[in-house]
Copies of this chain bind each other. A is one copy, B any other.
């Protein structure tokens, strides 16, 4: 049943959740509406109502949504009532920045393992995590039943790392390496490449004289 929901709808739920938490936690709003959410997110209120209707009835006409209740429901739908462990591979500048990012806290994830192949980095501490030898990748992931990994290695080693992660049981990969990853159908990859995003936007800019 869950499979019938379009992926693009699923992809908007975390954005609703982020905004709802902002409303509830920073602005102490007890209730909100599809209109308020839509206005704040630049999405039509009809779209929001339609997206949410895939999963149930969360509000009442006239009174809108109880903010905390809708947050809890979205967390349940997205499987965020537990804390997911994450294995991060690549302790370079970006890996370091991700490990130090405190935005994961209370949003369902915790980077619990950090790997690198550089002997100069192995054993070093980064934000309370010890950099482990990437040789220990499979054993650690299997033992701890980690399902999510972040790849922050150079493009020419990313596929090899992905293959090893998948064999060890990883089912979700956030890939920062600027390369497409070839993985089995049961594994999801989400990409983050700032250049791809900027090239996309550059299409809409008027060319300038160099």
Task: Report A's interface with B, CB cutoff 8 A.
Answer: 2, 10-11, 13-15, 17-19, 22, 26, 40-42, 77-84, 86, 92-94, 96-98, 100-101, 103-104, 107-109, 145, 147-148, 150, 155-156, 171-172, 174, 178-180, 182, 188, 190, 192-205, 207-210
- Determine if A17 and B79 form an interchain contact, defined as CB atoms under 8 angstroms apart: no
Cα separation A201 to B198 with both chains bound (whole Å):
23
- Determine if B205 and A108 form an interchain contact, defined as CB atoms under 8 angstroms apart: no
- Determine if A192 and B192 form an interchain contact, defined as CB atoms under 8 angstroms apart: yes
- Determine if B109 and A195 form an interchain contact, defined as CB atoms under 8 angstroms apart: yes
A42 to nearest B CB, angstroms?
Answer: 7
A15, A17, A86: most-surrounded residue (chain B CB, <10 A): A15
A41, A195, A198: most-surrounded residue (chain B CB, <10 A): A198
- Determine if A22 and B179 form an interchain contact, defined as CB atoms under 8 angstroms apart: yes
- Determine if B208 and A147 form an interchain contact, defined as CB atoms under 8 angstroms apart: yes
- Determine if B207 and A82 form an interchain contact, defined as CB atoms under 8 angstroms apart: yes
- Determine if B10 and A203 form an interchain contact, defined as CB atoms under 8 angstroms apart: yes
- Determine if B194 and A150 form an interchain contact, defined as CB atoms under 8 angstroms apart: yes
Q: A41-B180, A96-B93, A101-B94 are in contact. Are A210 and B82 (CB under 8 A)?
A: yes
- Determine if A208 and B82 form an interchain contact, defined as CB atoms under 8 angstroms apart: yes
Cα separation A199 to B109 with both chains bound (whole Å):
9
- Determine if B97 and A96 form an interchain contact, defined as CB atoms under 8 angstroms apart: yes
Residues of B within 8 A of A41 (CB): 180
